[in-house]
Amino acid sequence: MKIVEMKIPVREVFDGYADTAEMGVRGYGGRLNIRPAFQREFVYNAKQRAAVVNTVRHGFPLNVMYWVRNAEGGFEMLDGQQRTLSICQYVNGDYSIDHRGFGNLTEEERAQILDYPLTVYVCEGTERERLDWFEVVNTAGEQLNAQERRNAQYTGRWLYEAKRYFSRTGCAAAALADKYMTGTPIRQDLLETALEWIADRDGCDLLDYMAAHQHDANADDLRQYFESVIAWVKTTFPVVRSKLMKGLPWGLYFNKHGGRSINPRKLEARIAQLLRDDEDVNDITNQRGIYEYLLDGDERHLSIRAFSPKMAQTAYARQKGICPVCGKHFAIEDMQADHIKPWSKGGRTVAENCQMLCKADNLKKGAMQTQCWSIWT
């Protein structure tokens, strides 16, 4: 990991300055990525950018900027994006300050701006090092979120294609998966989620996937996978219940169950039943868990914790009203249903795992479990 301090005149940063939808904003002879394409748009207001330009015109110091040298020998702007944009846009003649644009300045004044040395720390290191560095430096200025920081590390055609699909307002991914996903495309939320899913498919972590595909010619693998996930959700659960479905980890479900033959009509009947059935509904504390429950049969996804009255009566009859702890007989009203194998340890809320304890013993057992929890946590 290497950090070098450089003094770079504005004229060099402005050299090759271009702002295009395709490439984002570039400068420094085309080698500096000032703002990547499709990055969320955060812009200084007129007062803020005038302050930057006036600082330069007076020859006062600007705070240090941070660039990161990428694998191709180019540079990514880590910190200083808005200040750099303010200066470049002014020099480019995009706006004026106090009715004076760059073109209205004297030759001397223009030279003064162009010769102004920006203090830049250029960082070089492995991908992981740079990412760690991003986390540290990115505490002030224009805050990037985790996926934006990752994006700055794995630039190239693959990322460009991926962002075109996942990261624009009204992008194809959002149009396709709007009812099933949460988040904002331009904040990279959809891209991040899709990457988490596909990394799970490949048994690696998200960064490994990005690293492995950075130099791909396109993002077809990711796009096609994502389309398969959403198509699977749509055929498996054809009735849309956005409130329950939005934001579930559909790709993870798909990775586990996508290959199975599932009868959507039966599933839907069961969902409708689970949602309708008063007795169950009262106990399902996590209705959103219905989908995962139906796929793998593990009712813990539903957080069903309470036994139904019928289960309690069955256990009471089986025990003939005897509390198995103290051996005394009780009326059913004086007993409570208890998980034989504790719920917290994976014990299921089914008749076979139900026993009736007298209230005193149930209280003791509960207290003991609480004690164990506090020891372990």
Tell me which of 177, 191, 323, 335 binds Zn ion, using CB under 5 A. Answer: 323
Tell me which of 3, 326, 350, 372 binds Zn ion, using CB under 5 A. Answer: 326
Nearer to Zn ion, 100 or 359 (CB): 359
Q: If binding is defined by CB under 5 A, does position 368 make contact with Zn ion?
A: no
Strand bridging mode 32-35 / 18-20: unpaired
**What's the min distance (Å) between Cβ of 318 and Zn ion?**
16
**What's the min distance (Å) between Cβ of 189 and Zn ion?**
53
Q: If binding is defined by CB under 5 A, does position 338 make contact with Zn ion?
A: no
Q: If binding is defined by CB under 5 A, does position 361 make contact with Zn ion?
A: yes
- Scanning 60-68, 84-92, 324-332, 343-351 for contacts with Zn ion by CB under 5 A, the matching segment is 324-332
Rounded to whole angstroms, how far apart are CA atoms 369 and 347? Answer: 14
Report which of 136, 152, 229, 133 is spatially closest to residue 190, judged by C-alpha positions: 229
Q: If binding is defined by CB under 5 A, does position 211 make contact with Zn ion?
A: no
Nearer to Zn ion, 71 or 326 (CB): 326
**What's the min distance (Å) between Cβ of 359 and Zn ion?**
8
Q: Where are the alpha helices (DSSP H) in the chain?
A: 10-14, 46-57, 81-91, 107-114, 127-137, 146-153, 157-166, 172-177, 189-201, 206-213, 220-236, 242-245, 250-257, 264-276, 278-283, 290-296, 309-319, 359-376
Give the pair of three-digit tokens for residue 196.
Answer: 């988490």
Nearer to Zn ion, 58 or 320 (CB): 320
- Scanning 90-98, 101-109, 238-246, 319-327 for contacts with Zn ion by CB under 5 A, the matching segment is 319-327
The β-bridge partners of 9 are 117
Rounded to whole angstroms, how far apart are CA atoms 194 and 227? Answer: 10
The β-bridge partners of 6 are 120
**What's the min distance (Å) between Cβ of 340 and Zn ion?**
15
Using CB under 5 A as the binding rule, the residues of this chain from 121 to 180 that contact Zn ion are: none
**What's the min distance (Å) between Cβ of 365 and Zn ion?**
10
Rounded to whole angstroms, how far apart are CA atoms 190 and 42? Answer: 19
**How far, in whole angstroms, is CA 300 from its chain's centroid?**
25
**What's the min distance (Å) between Cβ of 327 and Zn ion?**
7
Using CB under 5 A as the binding rule, the residues of this chain from 234 to 293 that contact Zn ion are: none
**What's the min distance (Å) between Cβ of 374 and Zn ion?**
24
104 backbone dihedrals φ, ψ, rounded to 5°: -90, -10
Nearer to Zn ion, 326 or 340 (CB): 326
Rounded to whole angstroms, how far apart are CA atoms 334 and 313? Answer: 13
Number of residues this chain uses to bind Zn ion (CB under 5 A): 5
Q: How far apart are the first and last CA of the chain?
A: 38
Q: If binding is defined by CB under 5 A, does position 6 make contact with Zn ion?
A: no
**What's the min distance (Å) between Cβ of 284 and Zn ion?**
30
Q: Where does this chain bind Zn ion (CB under 5 A)?
A: 323, 325-326, 358, 361
